[in-house]
Amino acid sequence: MTIKNHKPILARLIPVIFLCLYISCQPQSKDAPTTKPESFRFLEHDITQIQQGYKEGLYTVQEVVQAYLDRIEEIDKSGPALNSIIQVNPDALQIAEALDKEMKEGKIRGPLHGIPVALKDNIDTHDKMATTAGSRAMMHSYPLKDSHMAKLLRNAGAIIIAKTNLSEWANFRGELSTSGWSGVGGLTKNPYELSRNPCGSSSGSAVAVSANLSILAIGTETNGSIICPSHSNGIVGIKPTVGLLSRSGIIPISFTQDTPGPMARTVRDAAICLGVLVGLDSTDKKTRASHGKSFKNYTQFLKENGLKGKRIGLFKGPLGKNYKVDTLMYQTVDFLKKQGAEIIEIDEISKAMVGKYSFQIMLYEYKDGLNNYFQSLGPDAPIKTIEELIAFNRSDSIELKYFNQKYLEMASKKDDLTSEVYKEALAKMMKGSREEGIDRVMNEHDLDAIIAPSGGPAWKTDLTNGDSFHLGSSSPAARAGYPNITVPMGFIDGLPVGISFFGRAWSEPVLLEIAYAYETATNHRRAPKFLTSD
């Protein structure tokens, strides 16, 4: 059919066309992203890409640092307001300027020259940033020197761009706590879905890396505090063997279980950072055991065929609690088999009593460790004993608003570390988690590593009822003081889920080999889009 007079028809259609275009451009639901994450110039850049840009003269260290500072302002303080950063380093640009000058002179400090790094705010820095552990009692606490970790990072050329929010006192203060909340920093949000929890206690560190607010971050773990937030925020986290990295200048929970560790978007970046952080420290006697067992370059172990011929144990303890996680895990097992790995199912690693011993050890060591840390701050320390901290919290209007301080109170009543009760618990936990735990299982089945889901999809944050952990697998490695690496395994309803690779003491090389091969073959990492939901 021929239309002879088409102008009136077009006149009537034009408003309709514009209306359709207008509607199509509008957010269709509350699940629309609140900002455009892809607009960031350095989105998902890794260490190699950033440093290659320096070599090619594409940008300076100052320009990179300014871009990340702007990103923090846009994404963390405004927009979706992730709240992962407690404080920004006011000297970051000056440090960047010095690094630019050194680079022009042909001087490269180390593997992290010009790389922005964020530190969990329980790691001391001797600069204009306080070290708070998220506590209002520590808002004006300025350490007398750098932690060993901060010193090594600076020596390697990193810019400590910010201190990150955390679950207050590394999530060992009291009952019904909410991961990612602190009296100083408020609540950190999961960048994949803002109503979801980021997990703790290195929540801010994980969110900062996932949301591209930093290239790297350093977290700390006593049990799950690197693994869980890394898994919940879709990044890589390494919880090293206790003693591989120094804990000097880190606000403690447990001398037996505490360790810092790198958090990154790729296994390679995490491995580069790990090599920077290793080494003996005379002020942390645990590091003596790492002599001859550490490497300055862990990237040498990154092999794309690293799964071939490996005997891997599937720890079934976390399974059977969430069918969606189970499905994803068994799909992964099938994939690992196709890559040449042999999978052996394991029902149990250690007895339940090991967990009870661990809790008692933490209480004893918490009191001792905190009191020693407060003394390290000198005569002007805002808090000088664990009892003073408890008293401060009782008098503060914010600190006990959402949950109590029962663990601090329990710790304050413990004897010192000469207690026979403490010594017995320590001996039994070590034997149960090592000789009768991971070592026994790996020896019996001749395993190279053990795998398990790192956790379930992030739960909705609930400040009234606290955290809603459904499953996890961090405890066997954490209690033994053995290494654990989590890598993105996929998504469930848009939320990231990780797979953990753990094993014997000092087995970081083989774990990295396996984790890298898995990551390279799957590439599950996806940048978050800051979605909202009902």
Q: Give pLDDT tens digits for 297-339.
A: 999 999 999 999 999 999 999 999 999 999 999 999 999 999 9
pLDDT digits (tens, 9 = 90+) for 15-64: 333 333 333 333 333 344 444 656 899 999 999 999 999 999 999 999 99
The enclosing H or E element of 491 equals strand 484-492
The answer as to whether 236 is a domain residue is: yes
Q: What are residue 193's DSSP bridge partners? A: 531
Give the pLDDT of residue 27: 36
Instruction: Look up 120 and say whether it is catalytic.
Output: yes
Query: From CA 418, how far away is CA 432, in angstroms rounded?
Result: 21
pTM of the model as a whole? 0.93
> Is 294 a residue whose pLDDT tops 80?
yes
Segments forming the whole domain that contains residue 304: 47-522
Average pLDDT of the residues in 284-306 = 98
Helix (H, G, I), strand (E, B) or coil at 451: strand
Q: What are residue 239's DSSP bridge partners? A: 484
The enclosing H or E element of 119 equals strand 116-120
Among 20-29, 209-218, 434-443, which stretch is predicted with the lowest mean pLDDT?
20-29
Cβ neighbours of residue 194 under 8 Å, at least 6 residues apart? 34, 80, 82, 530, 531, 532, 533
The answer as to whether 350 is a domain residue is: yes
For residue 11, give both structure tokens.
């006149």
Give the pLDDT of residue 51: 98
pLDDT band at 534 (very low <50, low <70, confident <90, very high): low
The answer as to whether 297 is a domain residue is: yes
Q: Helices in 200-322 by DSSP H: which ranges?
A: 203-210, 227-232, 267-277
Dihedral of CA 438/441/443/448: which sign?
negative
Give the pLDDT of residue 7: 36
Q: For position 247, which CATH number holds?
A: 3.90.1300.10
> Is 507 a residue whose pLDDT tops 60?
yes
The pLDDT > 90 percentage for the chain reads: 92
pLDDT band at 5 (very low <50, low <70, confident <90, very high): very low
Give the pLDDT of residue 357: 98
Instruction: Look up 39 and say whether it is catalytic.
Output: no
> Is 4 a residue whose pLDDT tops 60?
no
For residue 262, give both structure tokens.
């790198």
Domain count, the chain: 1
pLDDT digits (tens, 9 = 90+) for 225-269: 999 999 999 999 999 999 999 999 999 999 999 999 999 999 999
Among 12-21, 109-118, 332-341, which stretch is predicted with the lowest mean pLDDT?
12-21
> Is 14 a residue whose pLDDT tops 60?
no
Residue pair 119/164 in contact (Cβ under 8 Å)? The answer is yes
> Is 8 a residue whose pLDDT tops 80?
no
Average pLDDT of the residues in 404-416 = 98
> Is 9 a residue whose pLDDT tops 80?
no
Give the pLDDT of residue 38: 67
pLDDT band at 509 (very low <50, low <70, confident <90, very high): very high
Catalytic residue among 141, 167, 182, 201: 201
Strand 259-264 relative to strand 311-315, pairing: unpaired
For residue 119, give both structure tokens.
């530190």
Residue pair 480/351 in contact (Cβ under 8 Å)? The answer is no
Query: From CA 334, how far away is CA 490, in angstroms rounded?
Result: 14
The answer as to whether 92 is a domain residue is: yes
Cβ neighbours of residue 263 under 8 Å, at least 6 residues apart? 202, 205, 206, 209, 216, 217, 218, 219, 226, 229, 230, 235, 236, 237, 238, 270
Give the pLDDT of residue 165: 98
Catalytic residue among 84, 120, 202, 473: 120
The answer as to whether 438 is a domain residue is: yes
Q: Average pLDDT, whole number, for the chain? A: 93
Instruction: Look up 201 and say whether it is catalytic.
Output: yes
> Is 85 a residue whose pLDDT tops 70?
yes
Residue pair 235/210 in contact (Cβ under 8 Å)? The answer is yes
Give the pLDDT of residue 391: 98
Give the pLDDT of residue 39: 86
Catalytic residue among 225, 294, 350, 474: 225
> What CA–CA distances, in Å, run from 384 to 304, 324, 387, 397?
51, 48, 8, 21
Query: From CA 112, how far away is CA 133, in angstroms rounded?
Result: 25
The answer as to whether 268 is a domain residue is: yes
The answer as to whether 33 is a domain residue is: no
Most confident of 6-10, 17-21, 31-35, 177-181: 177-181
DSSP string across 310-328: -EEEEE-TTTTS-HHHHHH
Q: Which residue bears the tokens 């939901």?
A: 533
Give the pLDDT of residue 136: 98
pLDDT digits (tens, 9 = 90+) for 119-155: 999 999 999 999 999 999 999 999 999 999 999 999 9
The answer as to whether 322 is a domain residue is: yes
For residue 238, give both structure tokens.
């390494």
